[in-house]
Amino acid sequence: MTANKISVGVVGASGYTGLELVKILINHPEFELSYVSNSEGGIMLSELHPSLAGVYECKVLKADIDEMAEECELVFLALPHKTAMAYVKPLIAKGVKVVDLSADYRLPLEVYEEFYCPHTDVDNLSHVVYGLPEMFREELKSAKLVANPGCFPTSAILGLLPFMDKRVANTPIVIDAKTGVSGAGKKLSDVTHFVNVNDNLFAYNPLLHRHAPEIANKLQVDFDAVNFVPHLVPITRGMLSSIYIQVDGDFDAVKVLEEYYKDELHVRVSKNPVDMKNVAGTNFCDVYVKQKGNMLFISSAIDNLMRGASSQAVVNANIMMGISENCGVPNIAYVP
């Protein structure tokens, strides 16, 4: 371990979010990537991800809780729901801080079990911090376990937060969101098959997607108020949410948005409708608002793999470890 660096590990390095974590961490000035693992191990990182050949090399180990606890002060879990909680409980018990990218700790127990599966680590639900810095920055500073938000909730919540106190009570929140295919992960399916996705656009799991209760819970509204419809578009990465709410009062929506996010490093208020390309590869969320009478149109764009997962996880880890929030976080977009 390099002197004065904070030792961290990535569990679940095979997937897209695991790869993005590794890419950020190998150049992070304060973190040292000391442990990289997946479910099988026995392979070099450059074999698992040929894009890293000649850039960074290490062994990818078979995930072992005792080994990662010995090597790491903090661990990123880039694992599916249900799998992640099996690692969280023993890691927390061993004094290792955890940023969990799965859904396992984002929701209250009864809501989680309704939309996912039985929970096997109920005790840790009582002290987890939801990893959206714009909402819970102070709590993150002392957190031992962070639930990294979902990609759709990140985009939707950041768009809505400045206007929730102006929303007309008991009126619908409509969220029409588009996402790239990488959000579905690496596992093959009929839905994400090239022939099905190419030259195509379609909604999936409308109104009942698992991220809808997460949005409702964090905004403190009833689940029935959130009308969330995600769409899959034939691009690799990116997310665009078009949000519609009814508001009350005499106010300038642009000024409200600008004032709310004036001190935030990773939210940019745009004077024009936002797009995916300008945030690709970064932790930025770009937000735009347009007002027509008592209706607001809010548009927010993020990179689903970065702000929607891996770079936001690193920001959370930075805050947890007491270092600069922006440290090592990519901020130059993949343009053109």
Q: Count of alpha carbons within 13 Å of 220, Cβ hemisphere only?
A: 5
DSSP string, 128-155: -EE--HHHHHHHHTT-SEEEPPPHHHHH
Catalytic residues, which ones? 151
What is the 3-state composition of the chain as percent helix, strand, coil, each rounded to the nearest 5?
A: 35, 25, 45
Cβ neighbours around 154 below 10 Å, total: 28
Looking at the domain covering 6-148+309-320, what would its CATH class be? alpha beta
- Tens-place pLDDT, residues 7-33: 999 999 999 999 999 999 999 999 999
What's the burial of 88, exposed, middle or buried (CB within 10 Å: 0-12/13-18/19+)? buried
Per-residue tokens: 310: 């891996």
Confidence at 1, pLDDT banded by 50, 70, 90: low
CATH, range 152-302: 3.30.360.10
Place of tokens 């004077």: 271
- pLDDT at position 188 is 84
Q: What is the pLDDT of residue 204?
A: 96
CA proximity to 283, closest of 161, 154, 178:
154
Residue carrying the six token digits 């509204």:
221
Residue ranges of the domains in the chain? Answer: 6-148+309-320, 152-302
- What is the average per-residue pLDDT within 80-95? 97
In this predicted model, what pLDDT tens digit does every residue of 138-148 receive, in sequence order? 999 999 999 99
Residues 236 and 197: beta-carbon distance below 8 Å: no
Diameter over CA atoms, the chain: 62
